[in-house]
Amino acid sequence: MSQLKKGAILNYSTIILTNVIGLLLTPFIIRKLGDAEFGLYTLIGAFVGYIAILDFGLHHTIVRFVAKYKAEKDKKGEENFLAITILIYSLISVIVIIIGAICYYNLDSIFGSSLDKEQIVKAKIMFIILIFNLAITLPGGAFKGISSGYEQFVFPKSVDISRYIIRSLVLVAILFLGGKAISIVILDTIMNIIVIIANAIFVFKKLKVKFKLHNIQMSFVKEIFSYSIWIFVFIIIAQFQWRVGQIVLGVMTDTTVVAIFAVGVMLGTYYGAFSTAISSVFLPKATQMIVANASGEELTAMMIKIGRLSFIVLMYILGAFALYGKQFVLLWVGESYYDSWIIALMIMIAYTFPLVQSFANSVLEARSKLAFKAILYLISVVIGTAIGAVLAVKNGATGMISGTIFGWLSGQIIMNFYYHRVVKINIKRFFKELFSRTMIALILILIIGYFINFIPGNGWLNFVSKSILYSLVYFLIMFYFGMIVFEKDMIKEYLYKLMKLLKIKPKTL
């Protein structure tokens, strides 16, 4: 099995594991910390997230340039590029510490009106630890980027899976022993250090990668930043899109509202991660296609192939959450978090088409044509945030997310025209083939799913029963009526391998 397929499978394994663990642990963490401290924990994490943008998009730049040098078999160029990026990262770490120190001494004035004295003290301690975490995590992320550039996804993902399992077990033990938010931050920092060391050993020992400075040409440094600057803008957008809502609500309301918003955003971003599991392993492939001068129709065909797989997965989750998500959230974290379901559902709906078109973004990265999209998204997010802040005055968390999504969707509509006219991706063909067979299957699934919701009961057993029944309906109808031959063959291949592993005699599907 290729690294691409293994990478996608491990991505899904990681996502399923982290989502399941997150869903199990979140109510436990909220119960142990309390709504106020959980809100404080997410608030400070969001605030530090703004400093994380100082990565300047270098992680994505490493993936793209390493893939490029590998395709060109330019080992010397790769060594020189990596040495320069490490020097840049060292400078970034120093800047992170300086900015962190400035923010630390101003936390009182920033959150003084919404946090009490005890919360301010805790916030400062968490902030210091998170800044240290960030200063080592940013350069440490280079090793993961190198592995991705080499299309080596198995080891880094295996490390991630191990990390999540160990972290979860230790976290439960810490909270049972009376640990609070500060303890969680310390644990995460230690785990990050271990992961960085493991990935570094893999890169140096297994991949035999070297960091060697042959020369520093300002023109080359300029080329690096001319590419990464737009990735940097996307990182700013990602921070603004979700974290700024927590900051705005933290200043305007209280940490309990922040907690409700954070839970909704968490569920919404879990949704996006399922699609990213497929698309994230295709940037090297997109780079290779661009180097090989692939035509617009060839790129469209690849985008359709990836997009349909993502769409089938996403519609399973979106349909289930729309039908049974309210019941799940109320059972999971309680009735006070009802708005979290609304927030998550709105994010999922808004996220769907950008996620199924994520290969187009990989093409833009490979062609170094991110400027238009970056500027458009930045404008859209700023407008959406401003509208959200106004709506949040009366409507709280749901008002904040409504404004954010309005700006986001406006940008998406414009980007589809850009993909079609400038990038030469055939958007009409994309949507036609995306919806071919899948829409009829989805309509039938949703009708049946709606009636499944009438099964009497309200507890966990009722919810699990509905979910299992919905899953069976979705798989059977989508497999026989929604999927094309390629998708069916892929499913059959994995099922046959699973049956072989379990020593079950395969039967024809």
Specify if 278 maps to a domain: yes
**DSSP-assigned states of every residue in 49-61:** HHHGGGGTTHHHH
Cα of 501 vs its chain's centroid, Å = 31
pLDDT of residue 88: 83
pLDDT of residue 13: 74
pLDDT of residue 73: 82
Q: pLDDT class for 276, splitting at 50, 70, 90? A: low
pLDDT of residue 260: 86
Q: pLDDT class for 317, splitting at 50, 70, 90? A: very high
pLDDT beyond 80 at 225: no
Could you read off the pLDDT of 29-55 as tens digits, one per residue? 888 888 888 888 887 776 665 555 555
pLDDT beyond 60 at 282: no
Averaged pLDDT of the chain: 83
pLDDT beyond 90 at 263: no
Give mean pLDDT, residues 254-282: 75
pLDDT of residue 428: 93
pLDDT of residue 507: 61
Minimum mean pLDDT range among 251-255, 299-303, 488-492: 251-255
Give the HSE-up count for residue 226: Cα atoms under 13 Å, Cβ half-sphere. Answer: 9
pTM, full prediction: 0.71
Q: pLDDT class for 508, splitting at 50, 70, 90? A: low
pLDDT of residue 19: 74
pLDDT beyond 90 at 220: no
Give mean pLDDT, residues 204-208: 88
Specify if 447 maps to a domain: no
Give mean pLDDT, residues 426-433: 94
Could you read off the pLDDT of 132-170 as tens digits, one per residue? 888 888 788 888 888 877 777 788 888 888 888 898 899
C-alpha distance from residue 201 to each of 86, 87, 140, 159, 195 (Å): 16, 19, 12, 12, 10
pLDDT beyond 90 at 468: yes
pLDDT beyond 80 at 243: no
* Higher per-residue pLDDT: 192 or 444: 444
Specify if 361 maps to a domain: yes
Give mean pLDDT, residues 236-263: 77
pLDDT beyond 80 at 246: no
Percent of the chain at pLDDT above 70? 87
pLDDT of residue 277: 60
Minimum mean pLDDT range among 234-243, 259-268, 314-323: 234-243
**Strand, helix or coil for residue 74:** coil
Contact 297, 420 (CB under 8 A): no
pLDDT of residue 320: 96
Specify if 190 maps to a domain: yes
Q: pLDDT class for 437, splitting at 50, 70, 90? A: very high
pLDDT beyond 70 at 469: yes
Specify if 41 maps to a domain: yes
Give mean pLDDT, residues 178-182: 87
Q: Tell me 337's DSSP state.
A: G
Specify if 28 maps to a domain: yes
Number of domains in the chain: 1
Q: pLDDT class for 403, splitting at 50, 70, 90? A: very high
Taking only Cα atoms into account, the Rg of the chain, rounded to an integer number of angstroms, comes to 23
Token pair belonging to 118: 């005890």
Report the C-alpha gap between 305 and 299 in whole angstroms.
Answer: 10
3-state SS record for 419-469: HHHCCCCCHHHHHHHHHCCHHHHHHHHHHHHHHHCCCCCCCHHHHHHHHHH
String of b and e for 312-324 (b: at least 16 CB within 10 Å)? bbbbbbbbbbbbb
Range of the domain at 349: 3-436
* Higher per-residue pLDDT: 460 or 235: 460
Specify if 354 maps to a domain: yes
Specify if 88 maps to a domain: yes
pLDDT beyond 90 at 426: yes
